[in-house]
């Protein structure tokens, strides 16, 4: 009887894993659509999928993730043109990631097929799927968009902003709403977070009114800055770049500096495509325009913190805790909302600071604004602590890529934008959080034990 019970339990667990694998494969199929259509400015819903060679509408059989490509043996059923293996590879990758994330969070007993996932299980997932599924949904939404951003950025050196807006919006809605429900239930609030934290991402403590007000004020500043930009009251940075690029290419063609065999510059210093941004001569000027855009964010962030501290008072000294405490405590949902917004601001602000300082120092655009939006979305979903770790982790991923290029050559020698490094680092940091905590603890000389949400 125990053996039969174990078999039934394994089958039940395997069914869950296969189901989440299938969902991941379907999401991977959607990602393929996004990667193909978004850079081309095409609608992602209509027209329905068709062969890019002959234009024939595909039936449901060709659209089955992974299996459809295998059944067709990589060729269109109508015109017999080859179908890129990238399509099933992306579907399989996302399906595999979904299954891994599920097993890390919810594997029965922490194990599956003899593999122990309990060592890297996040603390919030220990409350079980029924009580934490909104947080898990935020994770899957983020990682799906991250995969899409990696692929688009690697191909086009651009990140469609909609891929950053979706996970950020889902994080605001899901984290905040679920925190409100958890607080009302009253029994689950302290079952999900890491010790010392109050939620699945880093949030200000209930007495940290300055950070709560700063996060809310900074977010209002972002909205105001975008409103000023949309109304033309402040200028968009790099607004004249396309005109400059056209003129630069025209001048290069007239002086016969473009190699007709490959379309690249025959002399160093001028070239088409992704290398042109390096030659743009006004990067420092544009950074001052971006500082003007950021002025409302910084000003309202500081003002919001000061106003929140004042409204929370009067503050009284607590001799037992050796600190001042406010008269009013923040609602739990507000702490979590502030945590999401703080992650967004810290993630985006970190990349933006490097972009501005690097561009001012070297006179060339240091990082793209797409990278700013990407890490901001990651911070909103995972928290500011993860955003910081991912930013520095991305530099190590970039170094690893450079080493592969020096050793192996080939495709690894290709210059890669920073976005794919951020995306890979996001996946690695989430899966490797226990190892990072151990490393930080060791670096501190074990004077402090790090336990991150």
Would you say residue 59 lies in a domain? Answer: yes
pLDDT at 109 over 60: yes
Percent of the chain exceeding pLDDT 90 equals 55
Together in a domain, 447 and 354? yes
Element (H, E) at 323: strand 323-326
Least confident of 138-142, 183-187, 211-215, 298-302: 183-187
Together in a domain, 42 and 155? no
Lookup: tokens for 219:
């977010």
Together in a domain, 352 and 452? yes
* DSSP state for residue 361 in the 8-state scheme: H
Would you say residue 107 lies in a domain? Answer: no
Q: Are 337 and 172 in contact, with CB atoms under 8 Å apart?
A: yes
As a whole number of angstroms, the distance between CA 268 and CA 26 comes to 45
Would you say residue 450 lies in a domain? Answer: yes
Range with the largest mean pLDDT of 59-63, 75-79, 448-452: 448-452
pLDDT of residue 410: 64
* DSSP state for residue 46 in the 8-state scheme: S
Together in a domain, 94 and 161? no
Range with the largest mean pLDDT of 188-197, 328-337, 405-414: 328-337
Together in a domain, 139 and 80? no
Average pLDDT along the chain: 87
Q: Which of 32, 17, 22 is nearest to 144 (CA)?
A: 32
Would you say residue 114 lies in a domain? Answer: no
For residue 57, count other CB atoms closer than 10 A to its CB. 11
pLDDT of residue 350: 96
Together in a domain, 395 and 338? yes
Least confident of 13-27, 201-215, 377-391: 201-215
As a whole number of angstroms, the distance between CA 233 and CA 289 comes to 12
Q: State how many domains the chain has.
A: 2
Lookup: tokens for 108:
């029965």
As a whole number of angstroms, the distance between CA 348 and CA 368 comes to 11
As a whole number of angstroms, the distance between CA 383 and CA 337 comes to 11
Would you say residue 432 lies in a domain? Answer: yes
pTM: 0.90
pLDDT of residue 174: 97
Mean pLDDT of 95-101: 97
As a whole number of angstroms, the distance between CA 346 and CA 384 comes to 6
Together in a domain, 145 and 182? yes
Together in a domain, 7 and 79? yes
Least confident of 156-165, 296-305, 444-453: 444-453
Together in a domain, 43 and 186? no
Would you say residue 222 lies in a domain? Answer: no
- For residue 373, the enclosing domain spans 122-204+333-453
pLDDT in tens, 357-377: 999 999 888 888 999 999 999
Q: Which of 182, 40, 159 is nearest to 417 (CA)?
A: 159
b or e along 116-129 (b: 16 or more beta carbons within 10 Å of the residue's beta carbon)?
A: ebeebbbbbbbbee
Percent of the chain exceeding pLDDT 70 equals 91
Would you say residue 92 lies in a domain? Answer: yes
Together in a domain, 13 and 95? yes
pLDDT of residue 159: 95
Would you say residue 109 lies in a domain? Answer: no
Together in a domain, 139 and 62? no
pLDDT at 110 over 90: no
pLDDT in tens, 293-350: 999 999 999 999 999 999 988 888 878 777 777 878 889 999 999 999 999 999 999 9
pLDDT at 453 over 80: yes
113 Cβ neighbours under 8 A, 6+ residues apart: none
Phi, psi of 317 (to 5 degrees): -80, 130
Together in a domain, 451 and 411? yes
Give all strands (DSSP E) within 168-285, no chain letters. none
């Amino acid at each position: 009887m125990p053996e039969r019970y174990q078999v039934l339990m394994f089958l039940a667990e395997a069914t869950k894993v296969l189901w989440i694998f299938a969902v991941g494969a379907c999401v991977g199929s959607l990602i393929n659509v996004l990667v193909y259509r978004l850079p081309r400015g095409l609608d992602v819903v209509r027209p329905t999928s068709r062969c890019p060679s002959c234009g024939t509408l595909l039936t449901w059989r060709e659209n089955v993730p992974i299996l459809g490509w295998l059944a067709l043996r990589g060729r269109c059923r109508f015109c017999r043109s080859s179908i890129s293996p990238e399509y099933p590879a992306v579907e399989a990758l996302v399906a595999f990631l979904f299954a891994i994330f599920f097993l890390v969070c919810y594997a029965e007993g922490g194990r599956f097929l003899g593999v122990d996932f309990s060592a890297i299980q996040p603390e919030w997932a220990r409350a079980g799927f029924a009580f934490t599924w909104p947080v898990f949904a935020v994770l899957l939404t983020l990682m799906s968009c991250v995969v899409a951003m990696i692929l688009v950025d690697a191909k086009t050196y651009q990140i469609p902003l909609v891929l950053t807006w979706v996970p950020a919006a889902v994080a605001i809605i899901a984290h905040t709403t679920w925190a409100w429900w958890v607080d009302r239930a009253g029994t689950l609030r302290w079952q999900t977070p890491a010790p010392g934290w109050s939620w699945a991402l880093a949030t200000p403590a209930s007495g940290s009114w300055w950070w709560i007000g700063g996060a809310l004020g900074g977010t209002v500043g972002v909205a105001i800055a975008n409103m000023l930009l949309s109304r033309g009251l402040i200028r968009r940075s790099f607004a004249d770049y396309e005109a400059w690029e056209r003129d630069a290419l025209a001048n290069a063609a007239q002086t016969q500096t473009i190699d007709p065999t490959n379309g690249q510059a025959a002399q160093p210093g001028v070239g088409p495509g992704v290398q042109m941004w390096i030659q743009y001569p006004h990067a420092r000027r544009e950074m001052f325009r971006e500082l003007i855009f950021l002025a409302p964010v910084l000003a309202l962030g500081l003002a919001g913190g000061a106003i929140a501290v004042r409204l929370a008072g009067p503050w009284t000294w607590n001799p037992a805790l050796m600190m001042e405490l406010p008269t009013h405590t923040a609602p739990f949902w507000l702490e979590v909302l502030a945590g999401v917004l703080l992650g967004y601001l810290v993630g985006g602000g970190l990349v933006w600071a490097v972009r501005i300082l690097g561009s001012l120092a070297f006179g060339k655009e240091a990082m793209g604004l797409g990278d700013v939006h990407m890490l901001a979305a990651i911070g909103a979903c995972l928290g500011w602590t993860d955003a910081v770790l991912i930013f520095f982790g991305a530099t190590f991923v970039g170094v690893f890529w450079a080493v592969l290029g020096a050793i192996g050559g080939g495709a690894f020698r290709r210059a890669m934008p920073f976005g794919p490094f951020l995306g890979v680092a996001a996946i690695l940091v989430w899966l490797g959080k226990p190892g990072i905590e151990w490393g930080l603890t060791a670096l501190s000389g074990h004077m402090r034990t790090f336990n991150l949400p």
